[in-house]
Amino acid sequence: MLPPREVGEWQRWLSDPPDWCVSRQLWWGHRIPAFRVELAAESGSPNGRSSGGQSHRSMAQCVRSSLEELFGGGGGGGLSLAAACQAPDHDPCVTFSPGDGLWIVARDAASAAERLRRWLKNTAATTATGSQTTGGGLLSSAEAVDVFVARVTFEQDEDVLDTWFSSGLLPLSALGWPTSSSSSSSSSSSSSSSSTLSAPPSSQSSILHGLPDARFYPLSLMETGSDILFFWVARMAMLCTELDRGHQHQHQLQHQRQHAHKQEEEEKEEANEDAATTRMPFDNVLFHPLVRDRSGKKMSKSLGNVIDPMNVIHGVSLDAMQQELKASNLPAHEVQRASKLLIEE
10 Å CB burial of residue 147 (0-12, 13-18, 19+) is: middle
Contacting residues for 72 by C-beta, under 8 A, at least 6 apart: 78, 79, 128, 129, 130, 131, 132
DSSP annotation of 232 reads: I
Decide: helix, strand or coil at residue 275: helix
Backbone angles phi, psi at 122, to 5 degrees: -65, -40
Contact of 95 with 35, CB cutoff 8 Å: no
In whole angstroms, what is the distance from residue 60 CA to residue 63 CA? 5
In whole angstroms, what is the distance from residue 341 CA to residue 181 CA? 58
CA–CA distance from 141 to each of 109, 118, 245, 320 (Å)? 23, 12, 34, 77
- Specify which residues 152 forms β-bridges with: 39
Backbone angles phi, psi at 23, to 5 degrees: -95, 130
- Full-model pTM: 0.66
Angle between helices 235-248 and 250-258 (to 10 degrees): 60
DSSP annotation of 136 reads: S
Q: Which pLDDT belongs to residue 285?
A: 96
The CB density around residue 55, as the number of other CB atoms within 10 Å, is: 14
pLDDT along the chain (345 residues), means of 10: 94 89 92 92 46 61 78 55 75 86 93 91 64 45 81 94 94 81 41 38 54 83 93 93 66 52 56 58 93 85 79 91 84 85 82
Q: Which pLDDT belongs to residue 138?
A: 44
DSSP annotation of 135 reads: T
Contact of 52 with 220, CB cutoff 8 Å: no
Q: What is the pLDDT of residues 250-305, one digit of tens each?
A: 545 555 555 555 555 555 555 555 444 568 899 999 999 998 888 888 888 777 78
Q: What is the pLDDT of residues 13-41, one digit of tens each?
A: 889 888 899 999 998 899 999 999 998 86
